[in-house]
Structure 1
Amino acid sequence: MQSSLDHRSLRRRSRRDKRFMGYAYAAIFMAGAFLIFFFVDIVNTAWSAFEQAQLRVEVSYSEEAREMGNYALKEDLSYLVSRGFTRLIPNRMRDDRSLLGTTQEKWVLADSEVDQYLKGKPNRLRKNERELVDQMRAEGKARLAFNTGFFINGDSKLPEMAGIWAAAVGSFYVLIITLLFSFPLGVATAIYLEEFAPDNRLMQVIEVNINNLAAIPSILFGLLGLSIFINFMGVPRSSALVGGLTLSLMTLPVIIISTRAAILAIPDSIREGSLALGATRWQMVMTNILPLSLPGILTGTIIGLARAIGETAPLMIVGMMAYIPEAPDGFTSAATVLPAQIYTWSSDSMRAFTERTSAGIIVLLAVMLLMNGVAIYMRNKYETKW
């Protein structure tokens, strides 16, 4: 009788184990399917942004064109060519007087509606304009070329001229400031808390608050940055400096926690051996603990910076959502970052910005994956097994 009960119990446990494994596999499958769908959708939308329509037209550098760039083109073509090109014609003629009175045939940037039409997407071209574009395409005067402007231009109200260069430079400046302020302060704080701080109530309260800071919504750090750095310290609004300082506040708890974890992983025998040989606690930390924990510290720092580069909410509070057509030339110049640029494009009503939004997401994901890959490589290559 007992044997029969044990057998039924084992079968029930086996069925539960199989159900649990089934749930686990289903969860993994759903997560994988979602990620695949997400990446396929983003890549499918973004792919066309890396191509840009161009038209081969005759540009007449006449007296009228010096005053109004549209007069440099035939009337029926001026509506198909990007306004960003025609607006620059008078400036080119002022800079190079030898152009006056000449006519040149060249490839120029097409309007975003022409670009969308050549890509087979919804557009607002009239019937006669579509027929003209078709005729130019048949004659080899309309093409899709690699969109170098997406990587070398700043933001623009014209989607065919909009690029990520200014936002990329702003992101780089912000990350530099974030690293310079959060890394030394975070590592020094972690070393003190782990190696020198007394075990009392005050230190316990500080440790609890550091752990809590790592989990609070990022927009609160933006409010803190607005209050401290802009209102109190007078740091220029919308600058890379205030953005980097704000993200430093957000990254600091992550670096402190990862550094403490790396220090804790070092066996006490290392400390005891160093102290037994006559080293002071400070010498022991600098010559043994810090070098051995450095791979874990750098890994946590890179992961913290990768999180910071994808933040938008705290930077919105400190004014880094501004329209920035030119790359900043310093840490106090007005700047924006890639996540803010992507958000701005996503809220624009023009269809051509949709593909640029997805392309910006691809670039941002590539940067974040690269940073996380570097962190994983450093952890695997330099981590010491005790």
Structure 2
Amino acid sequence: MTLSIEQRREHRLTTIEKSLARRHRKENGFRRLGLAAVLAGLTLVTILFASILTKGIPAFWQATLYTEIHFDPEVIDLPPAPVREAGETPYAFNERHTQWMTQVGLVNWQSLIDASLERALGEEVEPRQLRDLRALVASGERYALRDRFIADPSLLGDTVTIKMLAGADVDVWVKGNIDRDLPDARQQLSPQSRAWIDVLQDEDVLRQSFSTALFVNTDSRSSLASAGLAGAFMGSLFMMLVVIALSVPIGVSSAIYLEEFAPKNRLTDLIEININNLAAVPSIVFGLLGASIFIGYLGLPISAPLVGGLVLTLMTLPTIIIATRASLRSIPPSIRQAALGIGASRVQTVFHHVLPLALPGILTGSILGVAQALGETAPLLLIGMNAFVANVPGTPLEQSTALPVQIYLWQGNELRNFFEARTSAAIIVLLGLMLSLNALAIWLRKKFETRW
């Protein structure tokens, strides 16, 4: 049957309308699928951050005792602090000062804390109850009391209100992180200690306060409540300084040469392939490389921020090179042609015209590479940065740990009720640093961005 021209036209229009409707349905379905994927990702990220914040924010406040400490002269039976006399040699003065410090260390500082708690409780504690009493205070506080007296020997005979950290078990009990209905045999504190906690809370001697110890103290195994992030923070800081000092200039210079000056031949093609492959190598491989070369062959100190920085530099270089080359490629060829056309040399064209325009992308890529290095853990474990270090490193050559490794160590601590929240707080600190670096990258991109 032969269709008329009008019928063929209507059939063609009907076919086109059905095709358009089908394409629109597919397009709308794809949009809805993309929106669902974005919402699912945001939901999971929100759950993750909510979980970390919910657990970590309470750890920034810690159970703290505010008690009056009497620096009893009968307990602190010491001669006056030595003062260097006229004509005395430094050696002789140091010897007298060392003897005085030895005597200070022999003082029973714990007895001063015990007497202070007895006054706060309003009762005399029997000798058999001293263990329950001392469980209320972090064991490291007696050393803090000693250091305070060393810094100011004029405290002898005075009574001063001092802020002391409560024990880790006390903090867990006060925050309700342990079931109070458990039988006494499964409780971490004795019934007497728990009763004293209630008394101290009623007297406002024991209360929650912002934990400066989390930021100013180093890690501790003997006084868990005093464990902090100072050593790990300084270790990460030294490593990032090494990474910035090495990876950024080397990576940017390499990218400029490969993109602007290197001849296009098989050698440069091989170099580009290897750079792209290195960017996909697992970070733990760089840790093995650092352990074998920097520690095994060059003999650099194990667990030192310098070694960690060198390992992270190797890991970060491919990322910076790739990001820098992408930024240089984004500059229109007309910029180069115009500069060369008015007599500029190749070097002048690159450094006076191309590089300033590519600077936002270069800075962004470099900062993101450094931020990625800040959160790496696996390569640092292989060079020994998971060792327990009780001091804040003063140089990149001293033993240290890093924030990601400290999080890893705290996560495996046996006192999970206390360190679970502490670990989340450390994660918040690390995320804060990484988000700050990302915000800096965005700000620099906006500041130096040039439109043409």
TM-score strictly above 0.5? yes
Distance 1:92 1:370 in 2: 35
What's the Cα RMSD here? 2.2
Read off the aligned partner of 2:379 and give its amino acid letter: P
| Structure ID, larger Rg | 2
1:217 counterpart residue number: 282
Partner in structure 2 of residue 110 of structure 1: 166
CA contact (8 A) 1:68 1:90 kept: no
Is 1:326 the counterpart of 2:391 in the alignment?
yes
How far did 1:91 drift? 5.4
Deviation string 1:157-198 (CA, Å, 9 cap, x unpaired) is 233211111111111110110011111111111111111111
Task: Tell me the secondary structure at the aligned position of residue 135 of structure 2.
Answer: coil
**In structure 2, how many angstroms separate the alpha carbons of the residues matched to 1:79 and 1:189?**
59
- The letter of the residue matching 1:150 is L
Counterpart selection for 1:269 from 334, 341, 360 = 334
SS of the residue corresponding to residue 83 of structure 1 reads: coil
CA contact (8 A) 1:306 1:368 kept: yes
Equivalents in 1 of 2:16, 2:147: separation in Å? 91
1:361 alignment partner in structure 2: 427
Equivalent position amino acid for 1:41 in 2: S
Matches within 5 A, 1:84-95: 84-90=140-146
Structure 1 pair 17–280 and aligned structure 2 pair: CA distance change class (3 A):
closer
Map residues 98-177 of structure 1 onto 2, 5 A cutoff: 104-122=160-178, 124-157=188-221, 158-177=223-242
Q: How many angstroms apart in 2 are the aligned matches of 1:107 and 1:187?
A: 50
Cα distance in 2 for residues equivalent to 1:17 and 1:187: 42
Residue 275 of structure 1 deviates from its aligned partner by: 2.2
Aligned-pair CA distance for 1:362: 0.6
| Partner SS for 1:108 | strand
- Counterpart check, 1:83 vs 2:134: no
Alpha-carbon shift at residue 18 of structure 1 (Å): 3.2
Q: Cα offset for 1:373?
A: 1.1
Distance in structure 1 (CA, Å) of the matches to 2:153 and 2:375 = 46
CA distance in 2, matches of 1:21, 1:280: 49
Q: CA deviation at 1:215?
A: 1.3
The residue type equivalent to 1:36 in the other structure is T
Count of residue correspondences: 386
1:301 aligns with 2:341: no
| Partner Cα separation in structure 1 for residue 148 and residue 446 of structure 2 | 55
| Cα displacement string for residues 195-245 of structure 1 (whole angstroms, at most 9, x for unaligned residues) | 111111111111011011111111111111122222222222111111111
State the SS of the aligned residue for 1:77.
helix
For residues 155 and 387 of structure 2, the distance between their equivalents in structure 1, rounded to whole angstroms, comes to: 36
Q: Check if 1:258 corresponds to 2:294.
A: no
Helix, strand or coil for the counterpart of 2:140? helix
Match of 2:296 among 231, 251, 257: 231
Unmatched 5+ residue regions in structure 2?
A: 1-10, 77-105, 119-129, 179-186
CA distance in structure 2 between the partners assigned to 1:4 and 1:260 by the alignment: 51
Pick closer, same or farther for the CA change 1:263–1:2 going to 2, 3 Å: closer
Length-normalised TM-score, structure 2: 0.80
Secondary structure of residue in 2 paired with 1:334:
coil
Structure 2 CA distance, aligned partners of 1:313 and 1:165? 21
The amino acid across from 2:48 in the alignment is F
The Cα shift of 1:87 comes to 4.0
Q: Distance in 1 between matches of 2:52 and 2:441?
A: 25
Matched, 1:380 2:380: no
Among all aligned residue pairs of Structure 1 and Structure 2, give the percentage whose two residues are the same amino acid.
44
Residues 140 and 382 from structure 1, CA distance in 2 versus in 1: closer, same or farther, beyond 3 angstroms? same
1:106, 1:185 → 2: CA distance?
51
The 1-side partners of 2:12 and 2:353 are apart by 61
